[in-house]
Amino acid sequence: MTQGYGASVSGGTTTFRVRSPKAEALWLCLFDGADEQRLPMVRDGEDWVAEIPRDLSGQPYGYRAEGQWAPAMGLWFDPAKLLVDPYAVALDGRFVQHPDLARFGVDTAPIVPRAIVPLPSPKVDQTPPRFQRGELIYEINVRGFTMAHPDVPGALRGTIAALAHPSVIAHLKTLHVGAVELMPIVAWIDERHLPPLGLSNAWGYNPVAMMALDPGLCPGGGEELRQTVAALHAEGIGVILDLVFNHTGESDVHGGVLSLRGLDNAAYAHAPDGSLINDTGCGNTLDFANPYVRRLTLDALRHFVTSCGVDGFRFDLATILARGPGFAADAPIFAEIAADPILADCVMIAEPWDCGPGGYQLGNFPDNWLEWNDRFRDDVRRFWRGDGGIGDVVTRIAGSSDVFGKATRTVNFLAAHDGFTLADSVAYAARHNEANGEGNRDGHSENFSWNGGVEGPSDDPAILARRRADARAMLATLFASTGTILLTAGDEFGRSQRGNNNAYAQDNALSWVDWEGRDLALEAYVADLAAKRSAQRARCSAFPQDGDWLDAEGQAMTAAQWENPATGTVHYSGPGYALSLSRDDRTVAWDIKS
């Protein structure tokens, strides 16, 4: 059995193991402040090993690799580059974008964070309240969710520990949240174009170290995450981590040499001509046909379960996980997760698309995975906007059997971190991303949104009333739907980003949740919807069937009515379930009997 990668302490000896098949020499670099001690490592097959006869727990370290510098051949060895251990579980600082990261021969030790030899981790509860299908997932940007929270102490704002604050937990319980889904919390780096614009990445979808918690979000490291997970579990709330295994922040060929690129560039997918494949739109793509990439992924997942107690994972651009290079529904990663005794019963959620050829794979992930269903979002928005068919929206409410077959695996949502917020989807007909510095060209161009007659803020009572009614109708549609549902933090009380539908670079009040200015009436309405759904547990894996679909006059719906875009009302009555929906009245009502 291959020994574990990373740094580990056993019997008073600290062992470092890293993979770098094509390196000609490798050095372990130990740091004491700015002082660096370089120790040669010994080749062990495709790995390099150093054994130090001391307990180095808490020691800052990194690697340097020597070999050929031939980027066109996929060889990026430069001993001037301090390299972060791909298996690092803690760092002494955040990644900072800098031109020197991509300059050959320029020492980067002053600007690259060091990994930390981990301290022993306590065992965590291995029987957490696993999230159940059909419950509510609450998507949270940890920093943006807590930065402006009036009850959270200033020192905790913007951190994972803030999620354990009693006021935060009370809000989650009011919404009957089954699990929080935390947007990326591992260490990431800004995209190259952001610092010159005075901007920074606020979302975290640009990781470098897959297991190391970002020191800005989690200054207390693994213990902070463990304690927060335990506090949420104590209230019956699960924790799902949104992880990015589709690319790394080393970006395209103009990007920096920070970790994998300088150790084992074969971790990235390459075309036959040697160029980087960019199925992610982020400059590079991790190669899941490579067993080492799969092992790194599985080891990271196991780490977060065993060391931190999390309940599951959402995979960004998850189609990448099954590429080799084309998508395969029977890709090795799925079988490896299913066979793993630690991971097999964890929650697995796919964002079932990427930017590459054949990248849209909604419905094609394993039967025990959940999948984000953007067709629910789009068909619901189009219906309430007035140009979507009733047949489409009913299919989405009923669990999208056209996509998932007999047992639904859908995660229904109205809005997510990317795209318009729910409030903005009824207040803006077009994106307004000028603050991102890209000429308003970034972000989705089609949002199936509308503004009620005025673009953006309005003081017209009629327009405001229509927007409120539209938002409530969509929220009721979500909570009435079969399947798992997802709500993005703040949409329950009208959070706005002033029409910015790609606020990844806005780490400021534009994207921070405005707790003081929230719509309390809308918040109470959503709490009532959540309480009703929570009380009616018999919902979420079975499609409505063996019932009657009736029109506004109480007559059986005809094929022509289903296909007529003007049809706006339908009623369903069947065993254990009833639904009424009216576009004219902006109403959705449902009832479920166990």
Q: What is the pLDDT of residues 458-501, one digit of tens each?
A: 999 999 999 999 999 999 999 999 999 999 999 999 999 999 99
Beta-carbon contacts of residue 528 (< 8 Å; ≥ 6 apart):
none
Of 264, 285, 306, which residue constitutes the final position of a domain? 285
> Is there a domain that residue 31 lies in?
yes
Q: Does residue 28 contact residue 50 with C-beta atoms inside 8 Å?
A: yes
SS3 298: helix
| Pairing state between β 347-350 and 312-315 | parallel
Q: Note the pLDDT tens digit of each residue in 168-224.
A: 999 999 999 999 999 999 999 999 999 999 999 999 999 999 999 999 999 999 999
Read off the DSSP letter of residue 352: -
Number of structural domains (the chain) is 2
- CATH code of the domain containing 29: 2.60.40.10
pLDDT at 123: 77
Q: Specify the pLDDT at position 224.
A: 97
Coil, strand or helix at 524: helix
Tell whether 495 is covered by a domain. Answer: no
Percent of the chain with pLDDT over 70: 98
Please indicate, yes or no, if residue 74 is contained in any of the structural domains: yes
Residue 126: pLDDT band (50, 70, 90) is: low
Q: So what's the pLDDT on residue 120?
A: 83
Pick the catalytic residue from 279, 316, 374, 492: 316
Residue range 282-316, pLDDT digits in tens: 999 999 999 999 999 999 999 999 999 999 999 99
Single out the residue of 321, 326, 323, 359 nearest to residue 337, CA to CA.
321
Residue 110 has pLDDT above 50, yes or no: yes
Q: Tell me what pLDDT residue 2 has.
A: 45
**pLDDT of 546 strictly over 80:** no
Tell me the average pLDDT of the chain.
95
Q: How far apart are CA 168 and CA 180, in angstroms?
A: 11
Nearest to 50, CA basis, from 86, 87, 8: 8
The reply to whether 316 belongs to the active site is yes
Does the pTM surpass 0.95? The reply is yes
What strand order describes the sheet that includes 47-52?
6-10, 13-19, 47-52, 42-44
Give the C-alpha distances (Å, rounded to integers) separating 112 from 50, 59, 61, 63, 510.
21, 15, 11, 11, 30
Cis peptide leading into 325, omega within 30 of 0?
yes
Q: Which tokens in the block code for residue 179?
A: 């699990």
Q: Helices 374-385 and 390-397 sit at what angle, rounded to 10 degrees?
A: 140
Place of tokens 């340097």: 64
Q: Is residue 555 part of a domain?
A: yes
Domain of residue 552 covers 548-592
pLDDT at residue 1, rounded to an integer = 30
The whole-angstrom separation of Cα 427 and Cα 407 is: 35
Longest dimension (CA), the chain: 83
Between CA 371 and CA 361 the distance in angstroms is 10
Could you tell me where the DSSP H helices lie in 309-458?
332-339, 374-385, 390-397, 401-404, 422-425
Residue type, 483: G
Q: Is residue 373 part of a domain?
A: no
Residues ≥6 apart with Cβ < 8 Å to 554: 571
- Token readout for 522 is 């809308």
- The one catalytic residue among 191, 214, 351, 392: 351
Structural contact between residues 572 and 564, judged by C-beta atoms closer than 8 angstroms: no
pLDDT the model gives residue 318: 98
Give domain status of residue 35, yes or no.
Answer: yes
pLDDT of res. 388: 94
Q: Tell which wins on pLDDT, 19 or 542.
A: 19
Strands 60-66 and 69-70: unpaired
Token readout for 382 is: 């189009």
> Cβ distance 161 to 153 under 8 Å?
no
The angle that helices 461-480 and 390-397 make with each other, rounded to 10 degrees, is 50
pLDDT value of position 31: 98
Question: What residues contact 357, with CB distance under 8 A and at least 6 apart?
Answer: 279, 326
User: What gap in Å lies between CA 244 and CA 250, rounded to an integer?
Assistant: 13
Contacts 24+ apart (CB under 8 A), 560-566: 561/390, 562/389, 562/390, 562/391, 563/389, 563/391, 564/389, 565/387, 565/388, 565/389
Residue 24 annotated as catalytic: no
Q: Is 70 exceeded by the pLDDT of residue 537?
A: no
Kindly state whether residue 36 falls inside one of the protein's structural domains.
yes
Q: Tokens 């929080």 map to which residue?
A: 180
- Host H or E run for residue 10: strand 6-10
Confidence of residue 544 (pLDDT cuts 50, 70, 90): confident
CB 396 within 8 A of CB 412: yes
Give Rg (Cα) of the chain.
25
Spatial neighbors of 407 by CB under 8 A, at least 6 apart, are 367, 541, 542
- Find the mean pLDDT for residues 538-560: 82
In a domain, 38, yes or no: yes
In this prediction, residues 366-373 reach a mean pLDDT of 97
